[in-house]
Amino acid sequence: MINGTQVTTGKVRLSYVYIFNPHPNDDPNAPAKYGVCLLIPKSDTQTMNEIRQACETARKDSAGKFNGKVPTSLPLPYHDGDKERPNGGEYGPECKGMWVINASTNKKVPVVDRHKQPITDSTELYSGCWGRAAINLGAYNSHGNRGIACYINAIQKVADDDPLGSSIDVNATFSALDDDDEDLGL
């Protein structure tokens, strides 16, 4: 569903979930941000068409950020997960067949379950689960950088799935040690 520059997505996979606690910024002088990477299946053409339309609306509404002139184009916040990352390198296998869009905000956002009941346990929302996201697209022009950004407003968790990222089987990795074993050279 779209409303100007606001979009409520269809079912998306969540990755790099920093919704309950903010993620430190690369710039130590910048504040930490809440955020999530949305992996949108390429089969969900409705959500992507709405995001494209919201980006175009945000571009047309951006004259105030560009000395009264509307730019003819601006860098967009979504990328093809089957292609190379904008800064080089490949996306991970979870991004194949997906559109990738990073959404962030300076404030904590509401998180609810399928029945719109609040989720407060941070372990319930993890990289790999599926949800719907309420996002807002907006133009920015700051410190020589310009483009369309995606801001996260709320998340609804809709399904569990395998967690993304590597997990270690401690039973296969470590052997048990007796209390009288040496310190292993540490």
The CATH number given to whatever domain includes residue 97 is: 2.40.50.140
pLDDT of 82 over the 80 cut: yes
What confidence tier does 156 reach under pLDDT thresholds 50, 70, 90?
A: very high
What confidence tier does 166 reach under pLDDT thresholds 50, 70, 90?
A: low
Q: Tell me which amino acid residue 117 is.
A: Q
- Name the residue range of residue 120's domain: 2-173
| Over residues 94-122, mean pLDDT | 97
**pLDDT tens digits for 8-64?**
999 999 999 999 999 988 788 888 999 999 999 999 999 999 999 999 999 999 888
Confirm if 34 and 23 have CB atoms less than 8 A apart. yes
Q: Phi and psi for 173 in degrees, rounded to 5? A: -90, -40
- Report yes or no on 180 lying in a domain: no
Q: Which range among 1-5, 63-67, 89-93 shows the weakest confidence by mean pLDDT?
A: 1-5
Rg for the chain, CA atoms, rounded: 20
Per-residue pLDDT at 61? 92
Name the 3-class secondary structure at 89. Answer: coil
Scored b (16 or more CB within 10 A) or e, 92-103 reads eebbeebbbbbb
Going by C-alpha positions, the residue among 104, 136, 124 that lies closest to residue 32 is 104
Question: Based on the structure, what is the number of domains in the chain?
Answer: 1
Per-residue pLDDT at 181? 60
| Over residues 77-98, mean pLDDT | 95
Confirm if 82 and 38 have CB atoms less than 8 A apart. no
What confidence tier does 183 reach under pLDDT thresholds 50, 70, 90?
A: low
Predicted model pTM: 0.86
Is the model more confident about 12 or about 186? 12
- Report yes or no on 182 lying in a domain: no
